[in-house]
Amino acid sequence: MSRSRLFQPIRVGSVDVPNRLWMPPMCQYSAAPSGPGLGRPTDWHLVHYGARALGGVGAVVVEATAVVPRGRISINCLSLHDDALIPDFARLADVIHAGGARAFIQLNHAGRKASGRPMWAEADGPATPDIGGWEPVGPSPIPFAEGLPVPRPLTGEETAAVPGAFADAARRAVAAGFDGVQIHGAHGYLLHQFLSPASNARSDRWGGSGENRARLMRQTVRATRAAIGDAALMIRLSATDWVEDDSRPGAASWTLADTRGLVVDLVGDGADMINVSTGGNVVTRVPAGPGYQVPAARAVREALRSAGAPVPVAAVGLISSAAQAEQILVSGDADVIEIGRPLLTDPMIGRAWASRLRAEATALPAPPRQYERGTRRL
């Protein structure tokens, strides 16, 4: 038996997950853009997710799946906007379970970053109406970047309908057999757009104060919790916009200080776990390097613990070895490790890391007792 932390089980809400090495959501741009296949998982999704589930991760979080068709990141993204789609998503949940992993799914509204093309499209820019594109919406008429569409601001009534759309999609996901859902509050999509003063300039009840900007996220979490009973409810957040001094709440962008406050409220609203990422709402320089988002996960974990809300926290981003993953868990920076790109190149990486850690734990003869302290396994 491995004594690694990585391959120990963890409980998320009422859901037991066999280990702490997870697959984070990664868009596959493989659903049809229109017609009867709009938003449905295809054979590609089954083979792609099934292979990763088989490869030893404890949980697979299926890619950003829109709660309404106009919330799709690209014209080829998944969407779970209709009860008629439940059987197709049930096949996906079944395949992941058959591989031995827990099945979660990320629910999203892309807001001003909607209506894109697949990453590999030859043409630049957003999808045009002739290929199934649409006018994106957002909190305010502020584009993500120069040259990108200026979003149409949602009316107050349209904004108030967003939590219900998340809750309905979450109910469908659980009906399809998923063990839980992840609300996408990161990477500059609609909920993050409302949170950040860099993208939200509203003066109604959905903008202005921190409390108003967080209202949409908090109502979404509460509505989703009410819709899914005791299935797991996770929230992915960008802990910072990477724009300015992160220690200062009330800045002109979303900061780590804001995140530390919000996560405590979200647990009160029904969140079982926080998955920490960063960035995506503002074009800026991100200091990406090995484990660069781990300090943000640690800060979130500390905030939750000191507020008496110690739900699990996941870290992600350029974590590329079993030893690095172990160290993050052992040092108490996070409870779960997510690895994205490494799983794209090697679906079996979970099994490889498990056998490496197990071999390290068991293959050597017992050390002389003089060396015991210095050779103790992680």
Ligand X SMILES: Cc1cc2nc3c(=O)[nH]c(=O)nc-3n(C[C@H](O)[C@H](O)[C@H](O)COP(=O)(O)O)c2cc1C
Contacts of 370 (CB under 8 A, 6+ apart): none
CA distance 337 to 320: 10
Binding test (CB under 6 A) with ligand X, winner from 11, 152, 305, 341:
341
Binding test (CB under 6 A) with ligand X, winner from 3, 18, 26, 143:
26
Provide the 8-state DSSP code for 112.
G
| C-beta of 187 vs 215, nearer to ligand X | 187
Residue that has been written with the tokens 């999509």 in this structure: 189
Binding test (CB under 6 A) with ligand X, winner from 46, 318, 323, 361:
318
- Using CB under 6 A as the binding rule, whether residue 317 contacts ligand X is answered as yes
> Interface with ligand X by CB under 6 A: which range of 30-38, 135-143, 161-169, 310-318?
310-318
Binding test (CB under 6 A) with ligand X, winner from 13, 24, 153, 291:
24
Contacts of 187 (CB under 8 A, 6+ apart): 236, 238, 277, 279, 280, 281
- Using CB under 6 A as the binding rule, whether residue 340 contacts ligand X is answered as yes
- Residue from 29, 49, 189, 371 carrying the catalytic annotation: 189
| C-beta of 208 vs 340, nearer to ligand X | 340
- Using CB under 6 A as the binding rule, whether residue 76 contacts ligand X is answered as no
Site string for ligand X, 35-64 (x = CB under 6 A): ----------------------------xx
Segment 167 to 186, residues that bind ligand X, using CB under 6 A? 184, 186
Binding test (CB under 6 A) with ligand X, winner from 109, 187, 192, 260:
187
Task: Name the β-bridge partners of 60.
Answer: 23, 103
CA distance 184 to 63: 10
| Catalytic site includes residue 189 | yes
Neighbours of 323 (CB within 10 A): 14
Site string for ligand X, 92-111 (x = CB under 6 A): --------------x-----
Binding test (CB under 6 A) with ligand X, winner from 17, 27, 31, 110:
27
Count, residues near ligand X per rule CB under 6 A: 19
Q: CA 255, 256, 257, 261 torsion: positive or negative?
A: positive
> Interface with ligand X by CB under 6 A: which range of 222-230, 247-255, 339-347, 357-365?
339-347
Single-letter amino acid, residue 269:
D
Minimum CB separation of residue 343 from ligand X in Å reads: 8
Binding test (CB under 6 A) with ligand X, winner from 339, 349, 354, 357:
339
Read off φ and ψ for residue 338, nearest 5 degrees.
-110, 135
Segment 222 to 281, residues that bind ligand X, using CB under 6 A? 236, 277
**What one-character-per-residue DSSP string does 303-353 give?**
HHHHTT----EEEESS---HHHHHHHHHTTS-SEEE--HHHHH-TTHHHHH
Q: How many residues does the chain have?
A: 378
Minimum CB separation of residue 201 from ligand X in Å reads: 25
Minimum CB separation of residue 256 from ligand X in Å reads: 17
Minimum CB separation of residue 314 from ligand X in Å reads: 10
Minimum CB separation of residue 322 from ligand X in Å reads: 14
On whether the CB atoms of residues 85 and 66 are closer than 8 A, the answer is no
Closest CA to 275 of 104, 41, 52, 123: 104
Residue that has been written with the tokens 């919000």 in this structure: 262
| C-beta of 149 vs 317, nearer to ligand X | 317
| C-beta of 47 vs 226, nearer to ligand X | 47
Neighbours of 89 (CB within 10 A): 26
Residue that has been written with the tokens 């509460």 in this structure: 222
CA distance 244 to 240: 9
| C-beta of 27 vs 313, nearer to ligand X | 27
On whether the CB atoms of residues 51 and 10 are closer than 8 A, the answer is no
Q: Which residues bind ligand X (CB under 6 A)?
A: 24-27, 63-64, 106, 184, 186-187, 236, 277, 316-319, 339-341
Catalytic site positions = 189
